[in-house]
């Protein structure tokens, strides 16, 4: 597979000094599982790094932009900006899907799993930019493609996350506190998936899927808000 690195660099506005780091950021584990003899690295370590860098830069930005906003609201705001669905949307807008190294099986799967792969690749790309170009370039990238397009939109919609909002509505409308249960989980440790259910009393209201238990809870809450027409 041949990747047009110059095209991707033009899209993101960053020219890499070391394109091997960029290649690593775009390489999913499944690609190497089919090609064990290839001397390449998959992107999970860069994903780990990028996740931390993204959270730091988003935290710094929100801290400075909203000096009067309470810590709890800032935490919810940050969670909305760094969660997998947000990163998936940004990655899709950048066309990152066209530049990934995937196994033949993963290339055919365009469902929920591909969304997580893209979200993870976005984090890995951030990690690669940080290693290759440093903090300031990474901050500029995150501001351009995540913070500036999304912050005002998220601010307008409110800073409360779906789980908090559903709890508030459930207590207001039905005088009951929602309970979340993990209904199933699968996948290796580096690529776990969970399905959570949200209950009001003994009644299952909705289900949601995520790459962590918390993300699955949020997804279930979002579905429940729509089902109850509380959103």
pLDDT digits (tens, 9 = 90+) for 100-142: 988 776 666 666 677 888 999 999 999 999 999 999 999 999 9
User: Would the pLDDT of 143 be above 80?
Assistant: yes
- Mark residue 158 as left, alpha or beta (left: phi above 0; alpha: psi -120 to 50; beta: remaining): left
User: CA-CA distance, 203 to 200, in Å (whole number)?
Assistant: 5
Mean pLDDT along residues 3-32: 92
Mean pLDDT of 141-157: 84
189 shares its domain with 111? no
- 123 an active-site residue? yes
Q: Beta partners for 101?
A: 27
- The fraction of the chain above a pLDDT of 90, given in percent, is 52
Among residues 47, 106, 123, 132, the one annotated as catalytic is 123
Whether residue 21 is found in the same domain as residue 66:
yes
Arithmetic mean of pLDDT, 28-53: 87
Mean pLDDT of the chain: 88
Q: Which of the 8 DSSP states describes residue 97? A: G
Rg (CA), the chain: 19
Which residues on adjacent β-strands are paired with residue 198?
A: 180, 206
Distance of alpha carbon 47 from alpha carbon 151, whole angstroms: 23
pLDDT at res. 77: 85
Give the per-residue pLDDT at 154: 72
Query: Do 15 and 44 fall within a single domain?
Result: yes
> Of the spans 89-93, 128-132, 157-161, which averages the highest pLDDT?
128-132
Question: Among 28-37, 120-129, 138-147, 180-189, which stretch is predicted with the lowest mean pLDDT?
Answer: 28-37
198 backbone φψ class: left, alpha, beta (φ>0; ψ -120 to 50):
beta
Which of 121, 138, 157 marks a domain boundary?
157
The stretch 184-208 carries a mean pLDDT of 89
Q: For residues 67 and 174, state if they share a domain.
A: no
> What is the value of pTM for the model shown?
0.72
Do 25 and 137 have their domain in common?
Answer: yes
Q: Which of 141, 157, 173 is the last residue of a domain?
A: 157
pLDDT at 53 over 90: yes
For residue 207, the model assigns a pLDDT of 95
Residue 27 shares a structural domain with residue 89: yes
Q: Which of 24, 47, 51, 215 is catalytic?
A: 51
Domain count, the chain: 2
| Joined tokens for residue 79 | 């969670």
How far is Cα 86 from Cα 81, in angstroms, rounded to an integer?
Answer: 6
- My answer on whether 87 and 193 are in the same domain is no
**Residue 98 and residue 78 in one domain:** yes
Statement to judge: residues 109 and 143 lie in one domain: yes
**Which structural domain, as residue segments, surrounds residue 123?**
5-157
- We report the CATH number of the domain holding residue 211 as 3.30.160.20
Containing H/E element for 182? strand 179-186
**Active-site annotation holds for 132:** no
Q: Which of 99, 124, 157 is the last residue of a domain?
A: 157
């Amino acid at each position: 597979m041949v990747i047009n690195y110059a095209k991707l660099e033009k899209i993101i506005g960053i020219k890499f000094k070391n394109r091997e780091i960029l290649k690593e950021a775009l390489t999913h584990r499944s690609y190497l599982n089919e090609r064990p003899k290839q001397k390449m690295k998959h992107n999970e370590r860069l994903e780990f790094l990028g996740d931390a860098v993204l959270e730091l830069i988003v935290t710094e930005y929100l801290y400075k932009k909203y000096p009067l906003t309470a810590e709890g609201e800032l935490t919810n705001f940050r969670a909305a900006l760094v969660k997998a669905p947000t990163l998936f949307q940004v990655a899709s807008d950048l066309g990152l899907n066209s530049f990934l190294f995937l196994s033949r099986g993963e290339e055919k799967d365009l469902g929920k799993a591909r969304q997580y792969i893209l979200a993870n690749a976005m984090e890995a790309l951030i990690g690669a930019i940080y290693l290759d170009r440093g903090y300031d370039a990474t901050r500029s990238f995150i501001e351009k493609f995540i913070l500036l397009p999304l912050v005002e939109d998220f601010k307008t919609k409110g800073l409360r996350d779906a789980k908090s909002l559903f709890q508030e509505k459930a207590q207001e409308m039905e005088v009951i506190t929602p309970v979340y249960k993990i209904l199933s989980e699968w996948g290796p440790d580096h690529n776990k998936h969970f399905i959570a259910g949200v209950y009001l009393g003994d009644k299952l209201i909705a289900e949601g899927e995520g790459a962590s238990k918390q993300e699955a809870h949020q997804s279930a809450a979002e579905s429940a808000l729509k089902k109850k027409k509380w959103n």
